[in-house]
Amino acid sequence: MSVQLPPYRPIKHRSGLKVMGAAFHALLMRELQTRFGGYRLGYLWAPLEIMFQVAIYLIVFGAIMTRVLPGMDYMLFLVAGLVPFRMMSTIATRALGAVEANQGLLMYRSVRHIDVIIARSFLELVIYFFTFVLLLVILAFIGIPISLAHLNVVLFCWLTLFLFGFGLAMIMMVVGYYGGEISKIIGLIFTILYLYLELCILFIYS
């Protein structure tokens, strides 16, 4: 009895962009699942985490900055300055463990190191920008005036900070893999840097 083989179908070769897109989508879904899939609040924890950070800075510096900057609402200043800065620093610091966290996936030829950084950076951009818009809506709802006169400047600053953070992430990925103990203090450096910027503004306007 002869066995009939299925008809031969040649394998369709995908272009490099399609392979990269598939790897990016898989890494993005994996990043979302590993970061927020284990929490009861799920993806809602992403903006809440940033809001808690803003609230802490507001409590720490709010009373001081209200006196130092009497003509500027510190809540608006904090949202416009802290959220994009935290996006940039988070993109850079999360790249420290990118190679170790995705060691299994990097064994596949279609997954490259830059795909991991692109997926993580894009995820941070979406989370932080969505939270930024949400916080602006909340500020407008509670009566703080929001002006869109310089929206193009704001978007340009977001883009440049994202590109700067992406460039830092490429460096931090190498530092995290080969740097040993150096990678442990990178996050602390970014925190000190933001506190230093806050203190500089405090002394300049005081």
Q: Is residue 179 a part of any domain in this protein?
A: yes
Q: Is residue 27 a part of any domain in this protein?
A: no
Look-up: residue for tokens 């879904």?
29
Inter-residue contact 79 to 135 (CB < 8 Å): yes
> Vertex 159, ends 157 and 164: CA angle to 5°?
95
Q: Is residue 38 a part of any domain in this protein?
A: no
Residue 177: predicted pLDDT = 75
What gap in Å lies between CA 94 and CA 169, rounded to an integer?
8
Task: Please write the tens of the pLDDT for every residue from 95-113.
Answer: 887 777 777 776 767 777 7
Residue range of the domain that includes 81:
43-205
- Overall domain count for the chain: 1
Inter-residue contact 28 to 123 (CB < 8 Å): yes
- 32, 38, 44, 48 alpha-carbon torsion, rounded to 10°: -100
Q: Is residue 8 a part of any domain in this protein?
A: no
- Mean pLDDT lowest for which of 115-129, 156-170, 184-198? 184-198
Q: Is residue 13 a part of any domain in this protein?
A: no
Task: Please write the tens of the pLDDT for every residue from 138-167.
Answer: 888 888 888 888 889 889 989 999 999 999
Question: Which residues, in sequence order, are CB contacts of 42 under 8 Å at separation 6+?
Answer: 36
